[in-house]
Structure 1
Amino acid sequence: MDQILDQKIDAFLEANKEQMLKDIGALVAINSVEAAPAEGAPFGPGARAALDKTLELAGRLGLDTHNCEGYIGYAELPGREAGKYLATICHVDVVPAGEGWSGDPFAMRRQDEWILGRGVLDDKGPMVATLYTLKCLKELGVPLRYPIRALAGTNEETGMEDVEYYLAHNPAPVFCFTPDAEFPVCNGEKGHFHGKLVSPVCHGKILAFEGGVANNAVPDRASALVQADMAGLKNAPNITLEPENGCVRVRGWGKSGHAASPEGTVNAIGLVADYLLANGLCNEAERSYLEVLHKLHSSTAGEGLGIATSDGPFGPLTIIGGRMYMQEGRMVQTMDSRYPTSTNGDVLAAAIRAAIGTGASLEDVDAADPFYIEADTPAIRACIDTYNEVTGKNEKPFTMGGGTYARHFPYAVSFGPESHDMVLPSFGGPMHGANESAPVDALLQSVKIYVLALLRLEEIDF
């Protein structure tokens, strides 16, 4: 590594650390959960406000900015080779805050060199880090061969229609990485399968059933309102009972997490469903549906639904139930599965329908195949080699269950800034969970890694 360059980057980070954190806080302060479209805001006013703030920050850093009709935007550094460009892509939309926070989720706070708030890790913190990456490159004064764009998406969490719009109106970058996962480099992502398990109209004892804030997050709380007598009900672990208008509110208390890595989570919807079954708080139609929910929630590997499978590059399938709600007298459970190359969407749908029988219907199914790029391609080598040089490690590329923008580009990977061995503090939580947290040092180090990786990528003949 060039020692003089290394020292210049370190000096840049020291000089810009506090302002970078303030800028992350300004972006976190905007509730950018998807909402109904408005003029100039295809994914709602919050997402548009977050995009505007991102471009405002980029402009203040001295970068050229472009707004693509509110779908997406980017900051850009010019290069001498026209027609080709490198890109990074982050997103400034977030999942709903949910409950369980120890402070305001949209007021970023610092504690023991960690920052907490919705989006600090997924993906507003990394978004600001990429803007400072471009600022650092500009201040270094290194002539660029390829222009570099830092793309800011607004619809990653709920559909990725933003990047589809962008690619319909712009040529794809010759290489792109998204800071929306873990280091060192993710060169493959599992397939995605989504659907809803819908009950018939049961006319039974369950008057309400709700839980979860996002389809792709394991809920840590859920509740059902049932016609029952408190005196006849038994206590159970992680269940509380409350009288409510002559009925009983059954609450489940679980442990949240991301759908892509549900190991160690406890789904509160499953807790409530199992309690209702065990205590007979259902008629026959409701029982059949609750038994379907039991099959779903009994295993995040899909064993209860008969869809468990695994392969070499990706490992085992995962599946979770994200949101539970009632609509027109029917109970609806959303599902999110991440699957390896050993199955496909059609096989999963057929197996689930066979497993649920007449207890529920499987509706609103969609699926996307896994993607995989060989680890020894030049751009991926540039990323992994840079990471190992900066950290002194000897890591290898990996695959994951998470879904990022990378799958939409012809040559792209996800590249940090998380670390697989990151240990959360007692006061912090994971992305998509309460008290979402990010280590300040890791965000700063990611800027150095991205600066050096982009300089190395500039040398490749694309």
Structure 2
Amino acid sequence: MNDPRWASIDAFAEQNRDAVLRDITRLVAVPSVEGTPEPGAPFGAGPKAALDKALEIAAELGLHTYNADGYIGWADTAPIAEGQKFLATITHTDVVPEGNGWDADPYTVRVRDGWLLGRGVADDKGPSILCLYALKYLKDSGIALRYPVRALLGANEETHMHDVDYYAEHYPMPAFCFTPDAEFPVCNGEKGGFSGELVSHALNGVILDFQGGVAVNAVPDRAFCVVNVPADRLTPAEGITLEAGEQPGTTVIRGWGKSGHAAMPAGTVNAIGLIVRYLLDSGICTEAENAYLQVLRTLHADTDGTALGIAADDGLFDPLTVVGGTICMKDGVIRQTFDCRYPTNTNPETMSAAVRKVCGDAAALENVSSRVPFYIAADSPAIQTLIHTYNDVTGEGKTPFTMGGGTYARHFPYAVSFGPEHTDLPLPEFAGPMHGANEGANFDKLIEALKIYILALLRLQEIEL
């Protein structure tokens, strides 16, 4: 690294390792799954508490802070004048539900063999702390900034992103923004999103209950179904266990899979899909139940949409992905959610028609929502600044990429996602992915990311925005 500022950046990051770990631990300790709206807490008490904690940490670091009615908050290197161009980072302090399969308390950070384990260490509380420390460096260094820098802290990214909608409606947008909520090097395009529910008729048959999944955008690692059939009439299968139900003559069928992010389903095992196949193969359900289960079997048959008839690949993005996220039963009606990430050569109308064809008379497609793909040219000045900075620090020679994950970047006129994950860094067996159990982040890589972010924000000062 031949940048004259590197020695100072490197020293700052290394000297603050313990402080960074301390503050990640403090932020992770605040459970922040979306809850019931309250006054001053539009996304529930948990997200509000986490946003408050992040702003508390920012103030301790000497940054100027602001809380925008509990929707979103930020820290600035210096007050930003009206009409002044500024740079921004944006992370989020809300998390997906902790889910199942953890080896310890999800909200207590553990350090094991150089890895941090805890809900949010990677997505996105760890990166939130990195951004605050990057701004601390910029402020404390005394370097004159052409563009002040704002670290935006969201509270609703994992569900609806109403936090950034609120910001866009009420506050000025940055000249350029990056979000540390994905993988390195630089993601300059995100697939579109298509989601909805596959809803049964009132079945009132053999299935008494069916529940599974913790989030629409996560592959469920466990689910259960209660059936009005004695356990001695059923046989265990791979990924399936059986136990006697609370009511005489009933059985609880449990599916045991492997969780992961809906945008990256490779290697996951969907517990709902395991139960659906088991029910159909066992032959215990009514004709109406079987008809609906066949629809679900088609959904769970693959993760590229081939069985549903919606597979797509445009050569720019990775191919389409689709997973079933949650399932619930109430008053005899089963609702199965799905999460689809799609490239540019299809659209929600085409996919809706295909899914309705699969549903036939056995199910209804309801509560459909979608977002279009977005793409920023890789040769734009800010993106080139980020990719060159990453490569200068790591020596890797990487190029920008596109992905299936959806981040805040698509909500800004000029924005990308920028680390801190490394897809080529294998997870140890004791750590899990974002949205999974034992969510893990390599601490050395987080500290390296802090250095990259500081240098990138300095270099962005040198281009015309």
TM range (shorter): over 0.9
The structure 1 residue matched to 2:303, chosen from 297, 300, 310, is: 300
Question: Equivalents in 2 of 1:454, 1:79: separation in Å?
Answer: 17
Q: Does 1:31 align with 2:34?
A: no
Question: Equivalents in 1 of 2:288, 2:192: separation in Å?
Answer: 33
| 2:14–2:447 contact (8 Å) kept in structure 1 | no
* 1:346 alignment partner, SS class: helix
Q: TM-score, normalised by structure 1?
A: 0.99
Which residue is 1:9 aligned to? 9
Which residue is 1:208 aligned to? 209
The 5 A counterparts of 1:317-356 are 317-356=320-359
- Name the Cα RMSD after superposition: 1.1
Question: Equivalents in 2 of 1:391, 1:364: separation in Å?
Answer: 44
Question: Equivalents in 1 of 2:318, 2:435: separation in Å?
Answer: 23
* 1:365 alignment partner, SS class: strand
Question: Which string of whole-angstrom CA distances, capped at 9 and with x for unpartnered residues, describes residues 217-246 of structure 1?
Answer: 000101100011222212211110001122
Question: Which string of whole-angstrom CA distances, capped at 9 and with x for unpartnered residues, describes residues 433-458 of structure 1?
Answer: 00000000111011110111111111
Q: Does 1:441 align with 2:447?
A: no
Q: Does 1:459 align with 2:462?
A: yes
Q: Counterpart amino acid of 2:236? A: N
| 2:9–2:455 contact (8 Å) kept in structure 1 | no
Which residue is 1:123 aligned to? 124
Question: Which string of whole-angstrom CA distances, capped at 9 and with x for unpartnered residues, describes residues 303-338 of structure 1?
Answer: 111111111111211000000101232001000000
Which residue is 2:232 aligned to? 231
* 1:311 alignment partner, SS class: coil
Which residue is 1:150 aligned to? 151
5+ long unaligned stretches in structure 2: none
Question: Which string of whole-angstrom CA distances, capped at 9 and with x for unpartnered residues, describes residues 145-197 of structure 1?
Answer: 11100000000000000000001001211100000000000000000001000
Question: Equivalents in 2 of 1:162, 1:57: separation in Å?
Answer: 20
Which residue is 2:361 aligned to? 358
Which residue is 1:108 aligned to? 109
Segment drifting more, 439-448 vs 230-239: 230-239
Identity across aligned pairs (percent)? Answer: 58
| 1:79–1:144 contact (8 Å) kept in structure 2 | no
Q: Counterpart amino acid of 2:58? A: A
The 4+ residue runs of structure 1 with deviation greater than 2 A are: 1-4, 78-82
Q: Counterpart amino acid of 1:264? A: G
Shift of 1:397: 0.3
| 1:189–1:399 contact (8 Å) kept in structure 2 | yes
Shift of 1:139: 2.2
* 2:5 alignment partner, SS class: helix
Question: Equivalents in 1 of 2:153, 2:331: separation in Å?
Answer: 38
* 1:223 alignment partner, SS class: strand
Shift of 1:356: 1.4
Which residue is 1:88 aligned to? 89
* 1:302 alignment partner, SS class: coil
Question: Which string of whole-angstrom CA distances, capped at 9 and with x for unpartnered residues, describes residues 374-398 of structure 1?
Answer: 1000000000000000000100000
Question: Which string of whole-angstrom CA distances, capped at 9 and with x for unpartnered residues, describes residues 284-313 of structure 1?
Answer: 111111000100000100111111111111
| 1:239–1:272 contact (8 Å) kept in structure 2 | yes
Question: Equivalents in 2 of 1:223, 1:281: separation in Å?
Answer: 16
Which residue is 1:19 aligned to? 19
Shift of 1:97: 0.2
Q: Does 1:251 align with 2:254?
A: yes
5+ long unaligned stretches in structure 1: none
* 2:16 alignment partner, SS class: helix
Which residue is 1:74 aligned to? 74
Which residue is 2:313 aligned to? 310
* 2:42 alignment partner, SS class: coil
Question: Equivalents in 2 of 1:80, 1:357: separation in Å?
Answer: 56
| 1:260–1:401 contact (8 Å) kept in structure 2 | yes
Question: Equivalents in 1 of 2:251, 2:76: separation in Å?
Answer: 57
Q: Does 1:171 align with 2:177?
A: no
Q: TM-score, normalised by structure 2?
A: 0.98
Question: Equivalents in 2 of 1:3, 1:43: separation in Å?
Answer: 43
Q: Counterpart amino acid of 1:328? A: D
Q: Counterpart amino acid of 1:19? A: A
The structure 1 residue matched to 2:263, chosen from 260, 264, 268, is: 260
Which residue is 1:423 aligned to? 426
Shift of 1:2: 4.5
| 2:318–2:404 contact (8 Å) kept in structure 1 | no
Which residue is 1:279 aligned to? 282
Which residue is 2:390 aligned to? 387
Q: Counterpart amino acid of 1:238? A: G
| 1:185–1:396 contact (8 Å) kept in structure 2 | yes
Aligned length: 462
Question: Equivalents in 1 of 2:189, 2:431: separation in Å?
Answer: 28
| 1:253–1:268 contact (8 Å) kept in structure 2 | yes
Shift of 1:281: 2.5
Which residue is 2:190 aligned to? 189
Question: Equivalents in 1 of 2:371, 2:232: separation in Å?
Answer: 49
Question: Which string of whole-angstrom CA distances, capped at 9 and with x for unpartnered residues, describes residues 399-440 of structure 1?
Answer: 000000000000000000001202111110001000000000
Question: Which string of whole-angstrom CA distances, capped at 9 and with x for unpartnered residues, describes residues 118-151 of structure 1?
Answer: 0000000000000000111122221101110000
Q: Does 1:242 align with 2:243?
A: yes
